[in-house]
Structure formats: C-alpha cells, structure tokens
Amino acid sequence: MLGKGAIVVEGLTEFHALPVAARKLEESDASFQPLDIAGAAFFDAESEGAMPKFGTFFKALGLKTFSFYDSMPRPPEKKKLFTEAFDVDCEHVHAGFEALIVSEMSLDRLWAFLDDLRTTGDNGNFTIPAVRPSDPDLKKLARSALDGSKGAGWAARLFEGSTVAELPPTVTGFLKQVFAAFPKPADIPVEVAVAAAPAKPALPVAGGAAAPPAPAA
C-alpha cells in the first residue's frame, strides 16, 4: 500500500515463481531497477475472479497496477473489469500457468529439473523414472509434477535453476513491461551532487561571532 506498484496474480504458483524470474532478470541486466527498490510488490489474489477488485483498490491508492492470469472464455463485460483495473493487463494464452511452463520451456530443462528432484529425493511420493521418457510423456510428467501439491514451490525451483534464456518468454515479456514502468534512475556524477548540496551554516566561535567560511579548494 505504501509502494508504487502492485503485480496481482491469481494463485500461489505464480506468486512464488514470478518473483524468482524477476530476480533472474535483474541479475542479468543492470539496466533493470530491482522491483523491491522500485516499490513494486507481488500480490496473490487467490483467484482469478478476485483480481479486478484488488486491482481497482490498488489503483485507487495511486499505485501502478499489473495483472497476470490464465486464458479462459470471458464475456466482454468481465474482461472490461480487468482492463479498467490494471494499467498492464496480461491474460496469457495458456489455460493454466503449468501449461505455460511446459509449453514454453525446453524439454532438456524440464528433464534436468525432474531428474534433480529424483536424485535429491525431493520428489517424495511423486514417481520420476531414472531414464528420460519420450517427449510427449516427459511433458505429461512435468505437467503432473507442477500440478501436484508441491507445484507452487516446484515451479519456483524450476525457475531458480534456469537461465534467463530458458525462462518462459511470456513470463519474461510481462516482467519487462513491469520493469519499463519503473526505470532505473540515472546516476548523478559526484561533482554535480556536491554542487547541488546546500551550503553548511557557519559555526559560531567564541564571543558569539560566526566563524568565517572555509576557503575554497
């Protein structure tokens, strides 16, 4: 509420994963101002239907508002709620965030992620074969893993182990719009900053008279 921007998502998976992708972008490009410094925060609306009311609330507070949510058939009047509540309204083309990940990330990255879960034992009761399955089965396996009870954390873990180039283009494209709304301030040369600083008042000396100003360097 005291920040400058609100990035509203519809569920925990996006709430955990998108900040990881944002940090990856920040670390890879010094021209991006970190979102926490910019005052832009992620907010989980907990459902797609609740997003417009939160967007309207944040917008009324003077914040820049951004939405990121799944594609689904919507009547024009419902879609209008989103476009009016958000300065940047991103309804991606996939029917679910997990579908977005599996469709837009490479099979090599998905398998490396799943194989790491199996090797570390972090897969728990979720079965992951030791041998890489066929491409269609690998996609199904990755989708099932991300849809599971640990999906929210696993999506973030998948992003954490990825390079920026391996992240879903829809995610990075959306986040670049957020970064563009909060450009990094230009660096101010030291000599300009010193010249713009207010002069320090003269200090009093014994007898009540003010000390003469220091000679210029």
For the stretch 27-44, pLDDT in tens is 999 999 999 999 999 999
Length of the chain: 217
- For residue 161, what pLDDT is reported? 97
Q: How far apart are the first and last CA of the chain?
A: 47
C-alpha–C-alpha distance, residues 4 and 186, integer Å: 18
Checking if the pLDDT of 100 tops 90, the result is yes
Compute CA distances 90 → 137, 166, 171, whole Å.
Answer: 30, 20, 10
The conformation of residue 49, written as its DSSP 8-state character, comes to: T
Residue 132, burial from CB neighbour count under 10 angstroms (0-12, 13-18, 19+): middle
Q: Using 50, 70 and 90 to split pLDDT, how confident is the model at 185?
A: confident
Checking if the pLDDT of 194 tops 80, the result is no
For the stretch 201-216, pLDDT in tens is 656 655 555 555 555 5
Residue-range domain boundaries for the chain: 5-105+151-181
Q: Using 50, 70 and 90 to split pLDDT, how confident is the model at 148?
A: confident
Give the residue-averaged pLDDT of 94-113: 97
β-bridge mates for residue 88, sequence order: 66
Give the residue-averaged pLDDT of 171-181: 98
Q: In what order do the strands lie in the sheet with 64-69?
A: 40-44, 5-9, 64-69, 88-91
Give the residue-averaged pLDDT of 55-60: 97
